[in-house]
């Protein structure tokens, strides 16, 4: 399974998971079976608020799930319609969150859990 983690700075598995999907400069993608790590830059970084193209941001890389601190409802719906689940990250690194995910302990997010805006409307 390929898991995608939005991060501010590429430090591989030691990267801190970023608070928002659409404004994350970098994505770390980890294959949970092989532990292979791939890093891509956010290809949709300059989008207007609420206009995130999450598949474009990922440069159309195939992933099975996103693990993030916060994300907008439109992005969740677009990812879910592409068969990609979205999970709420805990504080910590990609490696920390991988371990918790593999124990099935990260909550899956729905559009109802989405950020309401970056001016204090987020519930994370």
Domain total of the chain: 1
* Residue at 36 is within a domain: yes
pLDDT at 16 over 50: yes
* Residue at 61 is within a domain: yes
Identify the pLDDT of residue 122: 47
pTM assigned to the model: 0.87
Taking the C-alpha atoms of residue 67 and residue 93, their distance in angstroms, rounded to an integer, is: 11
Mean pLDDT, the chain, rounded, equals: 87
Identify the pLDDT of residue 54: 87
Identify the pLDDT of residue 44: 81
Q: How do the residues of the chain divide into helix, strand and coil, expressed in percent and rounded to 5? A: 25, 25, 50
CA distances from 117 to 14, 56, 58, 73, 124 (A): 28, 21, 21, 10, 12
Identify the pLDDT of residue 6: 96
pLDDT at 118 over 50: no
CATH number at residue 104: 3.30.420.130
* Residue at 118 is within a domain: no
pLDDT at 124 over 50: no
* Residue at 33 is within a domain: yes
Residue 111 CB coordination number (10 Å): 14
pLDDT tens-digit readout, 31-74 = 999 999 999 999 887 655 555 678 888 998 999 999 999 898 88
* Residue at 43 is within a domain: yes
Identify the pLDDT of residue 51: 56
* Residue at 40 is within a domain: yes
Q: Note down the domain range covering 95.
A: 2-113
Mean pLDDT of 78-90: 95
Q: How many residues does the chain have?
A: 124
């Amino acid at each position: 399974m390929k898991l995608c983690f939005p991060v501010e700075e590429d430090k591989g598995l030691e990267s801190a998971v970023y608070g928002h999907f659409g404004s994350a400069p970098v994505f770390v993608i980890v294959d949970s079976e092989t532990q292979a790590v791939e890093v891509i830059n956010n290809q949709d970084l300059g989008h207007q608020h609420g206009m995130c193209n999450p598949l474009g941001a990922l440069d159309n890389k195939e992933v099975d799930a996103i693990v993030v601190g916060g994300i907008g409802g439109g992005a969740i719906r677009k990812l879910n319609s592409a068969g990609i689940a979205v999970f709420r990250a805990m504080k910590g690194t990609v490696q920390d969150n991988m371990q918790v995910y593999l124990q099935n302990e990260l909550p899956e997010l729905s559009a109802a859990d989405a950020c309401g805006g970056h001016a204090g409307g987020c519930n994370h």
